[in-house]
């Protein structure tokens, strides 16, 4: 699954995803910040091309932007 966002709201969603055992192939999307991993564990992708490539393998996503 791809989480669109890699900030505070995404962090709160991560807690839920971990508790539900949904961390297999979990990626985060952040086109603004340069980090490579989210919470020292999950890859962050940064470009629209990477998102398109990811969606070819897994079309599931959740929005993790905004204020928690």
CB of 37 closer than 8 Å to CB of 44? yes
Does residue 9 lie in a domain region?
Answer: no
Structure pTM?
Answer: 0.91
How far is residue 35's CA from residue 17's CA, in Å, rounded to a whole number? 21
What pLDDT score does 66 carry?
85
CB of 44 closer than 8 Å to CB of 10? no
Does residue 26 lie in a domain region?
Answer: yes
Q: What is the pLDDT of residues 31-58, one digit of tens each?
A: 999 999 999 999 999 999 999 999 999 9
Does residue 45 lie in a domain region?
Answer: yes
Does residue 31 lie in a domain region?
Answer: yes
Q: pLDDT-based confidence at 68, cuts 50/70/90?
A: low
CB of 39 closer than 8 Å to CB of 17? no
Give yes or no for residue 24 having a pLDDT over 70: yes
Q: State the total domains in the chain.
A: 1
How far is residue 37's CA from residue 45's CA, in Å, rounded to a whole number? 9
Q: pLDDT-based confidence at 19, cuts 50/70/90?
A: very high
Give yes or no for residue 67 having a pLDDT over 80: no
Instruction: Determine the structural domain holding residue 42 and report its residue range.
Output: 16-61
Does residue 4 lie in a domain region?
Answer: no
Does residue 24 lie in a domain region?
Answer: yes
């Amino acid at each position: 699954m791809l989480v669109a966002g890699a900030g505070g709201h995404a962090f709160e969603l991560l807690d839920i995803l971990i508790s539900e055992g949904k961390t297999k192939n979990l990626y985060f999307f952040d086109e603004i910040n340069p980090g490579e991993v989210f919470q020292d564990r999950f890859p962050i992708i940064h470009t629209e091309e990477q998102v398109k490539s990811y969606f070819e393998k897994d079309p599931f996503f959740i929005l993790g932007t905004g204020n928690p």
